[in-house]
Amino acid sequence: MSMICNRSRLSSSLIKRLKYEIAVITDHRSFTTSEGHRPAIVKKRSIDILHDPWFNKGTAFSMTERDRLDLRGLLPPNVMTIEQQIERFMADLRRLETETKDGPSDPNALAKWRILNRLHDRNETMYYKVLIANIEEYAPIVYTPTVGLVCQNYCGLYRRPRGMYFSSADRGEMMSMVYNWPAEQVDMIVVTDGSRILGLGDLGIQGIGIAIGKLDLYVAAAGINPQRVLPVMIDVGTNNEKLFKNPLYLGLQEYRLDGEDYLAVIDEFMEAVFTRWPNVIVQFEDFQTKWAFNLLQRYRHIYRMFNDDVQGTAGVAVAGLLGAVRAQGRPMIDFPKQKIVVAGAGRCTCFFFSLTWSRFL
Q: Per the residue annotation, which of 128, 138, 143, 299 is the catalytic one? A: 143
Cα–Cα distance, 210 to 226 (Å, whole number): 16
Q: Which residues of the chain have pLDDT under 50?
A: 1-4, 7, 20, 22-36, 103-106
Cα–Cα distance, 96 to 93 (Å, whole number): 5
Q: Per the residue annotation, which of 128, 214, 249, 262 is the catalytic one? A: 214
Cα–Cα distance, 64 to 69 (Å, whole number): 9
Question: Residue 35's pLDDT is what?
Answer: 45
The pLDDT tens digits of the residues spanning 289-344 come to 889 889 999 999 999 999 988 888 777 888 888 888 889 898 888 888 887 777 77
**What type of residue sits at position 215?**
L
Domain ranges in the chain? Answer: 146-303, 313-359
Question: Residue 272's pLDDT is what?
Answer: 97
Known catalytic membership, residue 143 = yes
DSSP alpha helix (H) spans, the chain: 2-26, 47-50, 63-68, 82-96, 108-122, 124-133, 135-142, 146-152, 154-157, 174-177, 208-222, 241-245, 259-276, 289-299, 313-327, 347-359
Question: What fold does the segment set 146-303 form as a domain?
Answer: Rossmann fold (3.40.50)
Question: Residue 267's pLDDT is what?
Answer: 97
Known catalytic membership, residue 57 = no
The pLDDT tens digits of the residues spanning 223-267 come to 999 999 999 999 999 999 999 888 888 989 899 999 999 999 999
